[in-house]
Amino acid sequence: MVPEIELTTEEKIIEAAEEVFTSKGKSGARMRDIADKAGINQALLHYYFRSKDRLFFEVFKRIVPRLFPGVFAVLDEDIPFFEKIERFIRGYIEVVEAHPKFPIFIIQALGNSPERLADTILSTFRGLGIDPVEAIRRDLRREIEAGRIIDIDPAHLMVNIISMSAFPFIARPLIERIAFPGRSELYDRFLKQRKEHVPKFIIDSIRKG
C-alpha cells in the first residue's frame, strides 16, 4: 500500500516527528520516541535539526499548508454561491478527515507559543493572496442585495462553517464516548454524514424565503 520509495534520513525523521508531535503534543513528545519511530538513533536527530524546538517548528511549517490554503481557494472561484458553500465545506471536512489531528495540533501550538508560529500561518494565507472573510464578504453582499439570502455577518458565517466542520473531529474523544459509547464505527459514519448535513444546515439557515 505504502509506496516503496526510499526516504532520505531527513524525511524519515520529519515524518516520525510529525506523528509523535501531533499525537502527544510538543511537551509530551520525546526525542527518543521520534528517533525510534524513524529507525535511527537520537544523535542523528540533532545532527539534522539541532534541537527539539527547531524540529517542532519544521513539523509545524509542513502541516500548515496541508490544513489551510488548499480548501480556501474555492472561495475565489466564480461559481454559484450555494455551490461554493457546499464545495468549501465538503473540501474542508475531507481535509480534516484525512488529518484529524492537525486542527488541535495547530491550536495547541498557537496557544502556548510565541508569535512566530502565528506569523507562519498568516504568511501562508498572504502568500496565496487569500483572505477568507473578505472572500466570502463579496459574495455575501451580492447575494443579500439580490434577495437570495438573509443579512448575515460574514465573520459569523465563516466561523459557523469552520466550527461545524472541524469541531466534531477535535472533540471526538469526548463526543464519541457520550453519544456512541464503545461504537467507534458509528462515529465514523456520523462524521461522513456531516459532508451532507453541514452544507444543508448552513444553506437552510441563510436562504431567503
Partner DNA sequence: GTCTATAAAGCGATAGAC
Partner DNA sequence: GTCTATCGCTTTATAGAC
Taking CB under 8 A as the rule, does residue 123 contact a copy of itself? no
Of 5-13, 38-46, 80-88, 162-170, the segment contacting a copy of itself by CB under 8 A is 162-170
Of 41-49, 129-137, 146-154, 193-201, the segment contacting DNA by CB under 7 A is 41-49
Q: Which of 1, 2, 5, 43 binds DNA (CB under 7 A)?
A: 43
Taking CB under 7 A as the rule, does residue 14 contact DNA? no
Residue whose C-alpha is closest to residue 158's, from 131, 183, 119: 131
149 in Cβ contact with 206 (< 8 Å)? yes
- Hey, how many other C-beta atoms are within 10 angstroms of the C-beta on 50? 10
- What is the DSSP-derived secondary structure letter of residue 77? S
Among a copy of itself, DNA, none, what binds residue 179 when CB lies within 5 to 8 Å by partner kind? a copy of itself
Question: CB pairs under 8 A, 24+ apart, for 178-186?
Answer: none
Taking CB under 7 A as the rule, does residue 162 contact DNA? no
Q: Which of 30, 126, 142, 208 binds DNA (CB under 7 A)?
A: 30
C-beta of 26: minimal distance to DNA in Å? 9
Size of the site for DNA (CB under 7 A): 16
Taking CB under 7 A as the rule, does residue 53 contact DNA? yes
Grid coordinates belonging to 149: 439570502
CA distance linking residue 165 with residue 94, whole number of Å: 9
66 in Cβ contact with 121 (< 8 Å)? no
Residue 11 or 196 with smaller CB distance to a copy of itself? 196
Residue 47 or 167 with smaller CB distance to DNA? 47
Question: CB pairs under 8 A, 24+ apart, for 20-24?
Answer: 21/56, 21/59, 21/105, 22/59, 22/63, 22/101, 22/102, 22/105, 23/101
Residue 9 or 160 with smaller CB distance to a copy of itself? 160
Among DNA, a copy of itself, none, what binds residue 9 when CB lies within 5 to 8 Å by partner kind? DNA
C-beta of 124: minimal distance to DNA in Å? 26
Q: Binding marks (x or -) toward a copy of itself, 24..53, rule CB under 8 A? A: xxxxx-------------------------
CA distance linking residue 21 with residue 137, whole number of Å: 36
